[in-house]
Amino acid sequence: MTNQWNPPGVPPQGPPAGPPSGPPAQGPFGAGFGPNAGAPPQVPVGPPPKSRSKGKVVVGAVAAVAVLAAGGFAVTRIVGDGGTSEPAGQATPEELGEKMLVAFDDSDALAAAELLVPSERRVLTDPAFDLVDELERLEVLSDVDLEQVNGVDVELSDTDVIVEETNADDIRHVTITGTAEVTVSGDEIPTGPIIEDEFDEAEVSTEDSTTTEPFELPLVGIEQDGEWFLSAGYTIAESIRQFDVDYDTGEIPDIPSVEEAIAPVGADSPDGAVEAMLDAVADKDVEAMIAQLDPGEFGALQRYAPMFIDDAQEGLDEEDFSLSITESDLRVEGDGDTREVFVEDIAIEIVENGDETYVQYSDGCVTVESGESTDEVCFTGDEVTAQLDDALDELENPEPAEDFIAAVQDAFSDFEVPGIVVTEVNGKWFVSPIGTFDGALLNVFEALDADELREIIETGKEFYSSMADDVDYGD
Q: What is the pLDDT of residues 307-333, one digit of tens each?
A: 999 999 999 999 988 999 999 999 999
Range of the domain at 138: 2-252
The pTM for the full model equals: 0.76
The answer to whether 422 and 341 are in contact (CB under 8 A) is yes
Phi, psi of 14 (to 5 degrees): 80, -160
DSSP sequence for 40-107: PPP----PPPTT--HHHHHHHHHHHHHHHHHHHH--SS-TTTT--PPP--BSSHHHHHHHHHHHHHTT
Specify the range with the lowest mean pLDDT, choosing from 26-40, 111-125, 330-344, 353-367. 26-40
Phi, psi of 38 (to 5 degrees): 85, -15
pLDDT at residue 423 above 80? Answer: yes
Return the pLDDT at 413. Answer: 86
Give the percent of the chain with pLDDT over 90. Answer: 51
Strand pairing report for 227-230 and 251-252: unpaired
Confidence of residue 218 (pLDDT cuts 50, 70, 90): very high
Domain assignment of residue 49, yes or no: yes
Confidence of residue 180 (pLDDT cuts 50, 70, 90): very high
Return the pLDDT at 100. Answer: 95
pLDDT at residue 13 above 80? Answer: no
Domain assignment of residue 191, yes or no: yes
Max Cα distance, the chain (Å): 71
Domain assignment of residue 393, yes or no: no
Return the pLDDT at 28. Answer: 40
Mean pLDDT for 278-287 is 96
Q: Please report, to the nearest 10 degrees, the dihedral formed by the alpha carbons of residues 310, 313, 315, 317 taken in order.
A: -140
Confidence of residue 113 (pLDDT cuts 50, 70, 90): confident
158 vs 413: which has the higher pLDDT:
158
Domain assignment of residue 11, yes or no: yes
> Mean pLDDT, the chain, as a whole number?
80
Return the pLDDT at 143. Answer: 85
Domain assignment of residue 21, yes or no: yes
Domain assignment of residue 331, yes or no: no
Confidence of residue 39 (pLDDT cuts 50, 70, 90): very low
pLDDT in tens, 424-460: 999 999 999 999 999 999 999 999 999 999 999 999 9
Measured from the Cβ of residue 257, the count of other Cβ atoms closer than 10 Å reads: 13
Confidence of residue 227 (pLDDT cuts 50, 70, 90): very high
The C-alpha atoms of residue 264 and residue 283 are separated, in whole angstroms, by 18
Domain assignment of residue 242, yes or no: yes
pLDDT in tens, 378-411: 876 565 566 667 777 777 788 998 899 899 989 9
Domain assignment of residue 136, yes or no: yes
How many domains is the chain partitioned into structurally? 1
